[in-house]
Structure 1
C-alpha cells in the first residue's frame, strides 16, 4: 500500500510539472567518499627566514638567513570507505647563509611518502606515515638513509571548523628518537586553512 501511495504521489508531481511547463526534477546520488577526496596531491612550499638564531643542545651558536624549498607529489589509492594508501615522492632543501656557525651551506633530502590515512573532505583525520630515503648535504651514503615516521589523530573542537591534533613521531637519527607533537587545524574555508601543528606549522591554500 505504501508503494502504491508513493507511486501515485510521484505521478502527480510529474504531471503537475509537465502542466506548468517545467522539467521533472532528477534525483542526484550523494557523492561517495572517494569523490569527495582528491586522488592526486601536488604541494610546493617556499619559506625565507631573515636573521634567525641557531641553537644546539646547550646554547646559541650562530645566526643567519635560511631558505627552505619543498616539492612533493603523491597519489591516494582507495582501500575501503574513507581509508586510503598514499604513495609519492618529496624533495626538501634548506640553504643557510650567515655567520660561521658550524652549519653546512645546505641540507637536502629526496624520499618516499608512504601513508595509511583516514580521509574526510580531503583532510587526513588519522594516519601513519613513513618517509624513507637519504637525508644528506651533497653526497648520498649508507649513513644518510633514515626512516622518519609519524602517527597522528585529529578530533573536532568546533564542528567542521577547528580540530585538535595529537601525535608522535621519530626517526633513526633523531634525538630523542621518539617525540610527541600536536596542535590545531583551523578551516577558514574549504580551500584555506591554518595548520598550527608542531613541528611543521603552515598556512595552506588549495586552489583545486
Structure 2
C-alpha cells in the first residue's frame, strides 16, 4: 500500500514534466521498498530541483558544425488540495531551461519552458491510482507570445497486478508543439522482485535500483530529457524555414547514480554517465541536428511534505 501511494505522485511529477510528460513517473528514492500496514499521509507540497551538465561533443548535420555543450536547470513546486475522498487538486509552477554552447549550426542557443500545473491526483491506497494534468505555459527560445503557448496534457492510471510486487502504468501525453506525433502513448511496469531491488521500467527515467540500506539507493538506467518548443523569428537564419520553427529537443542519457534520503521526505540524487545523443528535430521543417556522445553529470533534489 505504501509503495503505491508513493508511486502515484511520483508518476504525476515526472510524466507531467515539460520534457516527456511528465516531465515527469520518474524512478527515484521516493518510491518505497517496504510494506506498511497503514497508508502514509499524502504529501501536500512537492518540490523538485534538477541540474545537469553535458560535456562538449560535435554537433552534426552532414558534417560537424563545431563542439557544443549543454547546461540544464529545472525547478518545480506543486501543492495538493484535498477535494473529496481520494481526489486532490494539484496546482503548481515549473521552469525548465536548456543552454547550449555556440556553434555555426542554425539551432537555438537556449530553450526554456515556463508553465503552470493544474491537475487532479487520485490516491486509493493499494487499489488503483489515476491522474490528469495540464501544463499551460510558454515553450520557447525567447519570445513569450501566442506562437509559443501550449497546454501539454498528461493522463494515466496505475493497475495493481500483484500488491506490493508488480504494477502496470498506462497513459498518454499530448502537446500541440510536439512535432512528430501530437499524442504519445505511455506504458510501463514497476516490479519489486525482492525487498532490496526494484525495476522501474517507466519513461523518462527507467532504472534498476539496488538499496543496500533503507535510506540509500544505487541505480543504473537511462533518462530522456528535453521537450517541444517554438524558436524565435529570425530573418537572417539559413535555412529560412527554421525561423520561428517548432523543434523537439531530446537528450538521450544512460548512466549510474546514487540517491540518498537525508530525511524521510528529502532526497539527493547524484548521477553520471554518457549523453548518447542530443537531438534537435525540426520535424515540420524536415531538418535534424545531432551530437556525438559525451559525458554528463547530474544533481537532483526532491522534497515532499
Asked if Structure 1 and Structure 2 have the same fold, meaning a TM-score greater than 0.5 normalized by the shorter chain, the answer is yes
Would you tell me which structure has more helix in proportion to its own residues? 1
> Is the CA contact (8 Å cut-off) linking 1:193 and 1:205 kept in structure 2?
no
> Is the CA contact (8 Å cut-off) linking 2:152 and 2:174 kept in structure 1?
yes
Q: Aligned-residue CA RMSD in angstroms?
A: 3.7
Q: Partner of 1:7 in structure 2?
A: none
2:84 corresponds to 1:65: no
CA deviations 1:118-177 (Å, max 9, x no partner) are 1256xx931111100111112311211110011111223443244221111111221211
CA deviations 1:84-106 (Å, max 9, x no partner) are 11001111111122643332111
CA deviations 1:63-85 (Å, max 9, x no partner) are 74322221111111111222111
Comparing 47-56 and 136-145, the one that deviates more: 47-56
2:93 corresponds to 1:108: no
Normalising by structure 2, report the TM-score: 0.47
Match of 1:147 among 144, 148, 151: 151
| Aligned equivalents of 1:130, 1:144: Cα separation in 2 | 16
Match of 2:169 among 165, 184, 191: 165
Larger radius of gyration: 1
Match of 1:36 among 26, 32, 41: 41
Q: Within 5 A, what are the aligned runs for 1:1-12?
A: none
Q: Secondary structure at the match of 1:143?
A: helix
| Aligned equivalents of 2:149, 2:162: Cα separation in 1 | 41
User: How much does 1:39 deviate?
Assistant: 0.6
| Aligned equivalents of 2:117, 2:198: Cα separation in 1 | 22
> Is the CA contact (8 Å cut-off) linking 2:102 and 2:109 kept in structure 1?
no
| Aligned equivalents of 1:102, 1:64: Cα separation in 2 | 13
Match of 1:48 among 42, 49, 53: 53
Give structure 2 stretches of 5+ with no counterpart.
1-36, 208-258, 266-305
**CA shift in 2, pair 1:195/1:70, >3 Å:** farther
2:122 corresponds to 1:118: yes
| Aligned equivalents of 1:205, 1:162: Cα separation in 2 | 24
| Aligned equivalents of 1:114, 1:166: Cα separation in 2 | 20
| Aligned equivalents of 2:133, 2:190: Cα separation in 1 | 18
Q: Partner of 1:20 in structure 2?
A: none
| Aligned equivalents of 2:130, 2:60: Cα separation in 1 | 32
Bigger relative CO (Cα 8 Å, ≥ 6 apart):
2
